[in-house]
């Protein structure tokens, strides 16, 4: 089966996938159908959700729920999205993505200047919204972890530097193609977390990649040939019928 995925950048330095079960997304829109649709998509992806249908409720709920990210419609009763954005920025730096039927450049620029992190035009594809939210959360997590900014992960006899695309195994530089290196970097940056093949395709190859999930298997096999038996303190493990993880011991 072939899968079409939207392209992400190739794992910028320090970027890693957040643990979705720990993230809460707040959806603010006066259209209850849109809220419910997005809620279903986000909860299917493992996120928690909170919903508000007007600007006043959005500000109060943001204070009590303390979400990790807000999706904020512009045209709403009580207070519009611009007013809500200004108020939220007085007490929170959480990422905010604006939702609007307006596609004019002025509106996009205004949102970004007021402190929004992204801008999505209606009508939208719910899968794209989820992908954009994940990307903003990853950027936000990376910004809070300056110690990872150089894009280097290290374990016993293993060092992966995504900034210069170099993998050092037992003190020796091992020739590693870019996608293999991005894959092992992503797994090693999230030790002991299991990733499905589809998740790895999303995060490493990108949403626009045309290919089948067995691509991941091939790259894992090649990495194992380079890493097998190097250390007894970590292992590139297969989780049968699920995917892969970089396991530390």
d(CA 218, CA 127) in angstroms, rounded, equals 27
Nearest by Cα to 107 from 95, 119, 89, 97: 119
Tell me the domain boundaries of the chain: 20-143, 152-248
Going by C-beta distance under 8 Å and a sequence separation of 6 or more, which residues neighbour residue 229?
Answer: none
pLDDT at 44: 92
Q: Give one word for 131, left, alpha or beta, with left for phi > 0 and alpha for psi -120 to 50.
A: alpha
Tokens of 26: 């707040």
**Is the CATH number of domain 152-248 1.10.30.50?**
no
pLDDT at 29: 95
Is 227 strand, coil or helix? helix
d(CA 136, CA 70) in angstroms, rounded, equals 11
Nearest by Cα to 184 from 216, 145, 137: 216
pLDDT at 10: 40
pLDDT at 106: 72
> Which of the 8 DSSP states describes residue 74?
S
pLDDT at 211: 56
d(CA 246, CA 73) in angstroms, rounded, equals 39
Give the count of alpha carbons within 13 A of 21, CB side only.
1
Intervals of the chain under pLDDT 50: 1-18, 146-149
Superfamily of chain region 20-143 = Response regulator (3.40.50.2300)
Do 57 and 30 contact (CB within 8 A), yes or no? Answer: no
The reported pTM is: 0.52
């Amino acid at each position: 089966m072939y899968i079409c995925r939207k392209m992400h950048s190739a794992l910028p330095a320090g970027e890693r996938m957040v643990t979705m079960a720990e993230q809460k997304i707040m959806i603010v829109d006066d259209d209850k159908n849109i809220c419910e649709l997005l809620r279903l998509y986000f909860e299917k992806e493992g996120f928690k959700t909170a919903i508000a249908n007007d600007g006043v409720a959005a500000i109060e709920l943001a204070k009590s729920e303390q979400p990790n990210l807000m999706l904020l419609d512009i045209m709403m009763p009580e207070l519009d999205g611009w007013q809500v954005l200004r108020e939220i920025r007085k007490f929170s730096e959480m990422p905010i993505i604006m939702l609007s039927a307006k596609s004019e450049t002025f509106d996009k620029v205004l949102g970004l200047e007021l402190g929004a992190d992204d801008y999505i035009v209606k009508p939208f594809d719910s899968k794209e919204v989820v992908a954009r939210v994940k990307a903003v959360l990853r950027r936000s997590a990376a910004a809070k972890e300056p110690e990872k900014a150089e894009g280097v992960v290290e374990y016993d006899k293993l060092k992966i530097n995504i900034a210069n695309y170099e993998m050092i195994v037992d003190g020796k530089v091992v020739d590693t193609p870019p996608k293999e290196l991005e894959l092992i970097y992503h797994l090693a940056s999230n030790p002991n977390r299991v990733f499905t093949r589809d998740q790895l395709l999303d995060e490493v190859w990108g949403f626009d990649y045309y290919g089948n999930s067995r691509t991941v298997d091939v790259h894992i096999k090649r990495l194992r040939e380079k890493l097998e038996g190097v250390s007894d303190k970590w292992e590139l493990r297969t989780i049968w019928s699920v995917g892969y993880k970089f396991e530390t011991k």
